[in-house]
Amino acid sequence: MLRAFPGTGLFGESYGSDPAVVLALHGWRRDHSDFSLLLREPTPLSAVAVDLPGFGGTPAPAEAWGSADYAEALVPLLEKMSAPCVVLGHSFGGRVAVHLGAAHPEAVRALVLTGVPLYPPSGRRAKPPLVYRSVRRLRRAGLLSEDRMELFRQRYGSADYRAASGVMRGTLVRLLAEDYEPPLRALRCPVELVWGDADSEAPLEVAERACTTLGGSCRLTVVHGAGHMTPLTAPRELRAALERCGDA
């Protein structure tokens, strides 16, 4: 059941006993409910799954945020949990988790990351089509109306970009420009990577590169046949990773 976490501005759901030991962070355009199965069965973990600002029951931020801003917004909730805690992050939530672990090592025992786009596939950032880049230049020069520009955004933007508006579109643009190598290298806690080998949004090569960066602190579990939505399709593997991180 959706609940408010007083003093945090966040909404989500609690599982098991308090204080919680596990903090679960969902992906872009998702919400806390993605974790219901793996946090409840076979027995409830002592955990909290939040709706990150702009998703589910939690209001959007007042201005465009980066993943480090999202991480700082979670600190008041961490202070109410059992410290240090285990942070589970899927996709966008994993980006936030990496910043949280790097900035607050005293509060994070371990990270479990799954389907997190920490690097562009094959080390490349895809460029927008040439026609879209051209009309953006026209818009910046004041030669194209905002309504006309929006038509091009809807035609050439990604599904996430088309679905976002206002401050959340600005947030998505910030996230896509971020470099996650520095916070990855700053991590001092153990990291479990649980990855589907059929993930097309964050391919397995991303996990392999992250594991090389993290070195001996990293363990990679490959879930054969699983795609991007591992919280729904690989709950047992994620649950096992959480349990390896300590008494959750």
Q: Does residue 86 share a domain with residue 13?
A: yes
Q: What is the pLDDT of residue 7?
A: 94
Q: What is the pLDDT of residue 151?
A: 67
Q: How many structural domains does the chain have?
A: 2
> Which tens digit of pLDDT belongs to each residue from 41-78?
889 999 999 999 999 999 999 999 999 999 999 999 99
Q: Supply the range of the domain harboring residue 135.
A: 130-169
Q: What is the pLDDT of residue 248?
A: 42
Q: Does residue 111 share a domain with residue 33?
A: yes
Q: Does residue 143 share a domain with residue 89?
A: no
Q: Does residue 146 share a domain with residue 187?
A: no
Q: Does residue 145 share a domain with residue 238?
A: no
Rounded CA separation 150/195 (Å): 35
Q: What is the pLDDT of residue 164?
A: 75
State the residue for tokens 């096992």. 240
Is 94 inside any structural domain?
Answer: yes
Q: Does residue 186 share a domain with residue 103?
A: yes
Task: Report how far apart, in Å, the C-alpha atoms of 229 and of each of 193, 196, 226 are.
Answer: 14, 8, 8
Rounded CA separation 156/29 (Å): 19
Is 174 inside any structural domain?
Answer: no
Q: Does residue 70 share a domain with residue 190?
A: yes
Rounded CA separation 15/11 (Å): 14
Is 136 inside any structural domain?
Answer: yes
Q: What is the pLDDT of residue 137?
A: 76
Q: Does residue 148 share a domain with residue 201?
A: no
Is 184 inside any structural domain?
Answer: yes
Q: Does residue 160 share a domain with residue 76?
A: no
State the residue for tokens 């818009």. 139
Q: From first to last of the 248 residues of the chain, give the pLDDT tens digit.
A: 899 999 999 999 999 998 999 999 999 999 999 999 999 988 999 999 999 999 999 999 999 999 999 999 999 999 999 889 999 999 999 999 999 999 999 999 999 999 999 998 764 555 666 766 766 776 777 766 776 666 655 665 667 667 777 899 999 989 988 999 999 999 999 999 999 999 999 999 999 999 999 988 999 999 999 999 999 999 999 999 999 997 44
Is 124 inside any structural domain?
Answer: no
Q: Does residue 136 share a domain with residue 68?
A: no
Q: Does residue 189 share a domain with residue 103?
A: yes
Q: At 9, which CATH number?
A: 3.40.50.1820
Q: Does residue 114 share a domain with residue 59?
A: yes
Is 125 inside any structural domain?
Answer: no
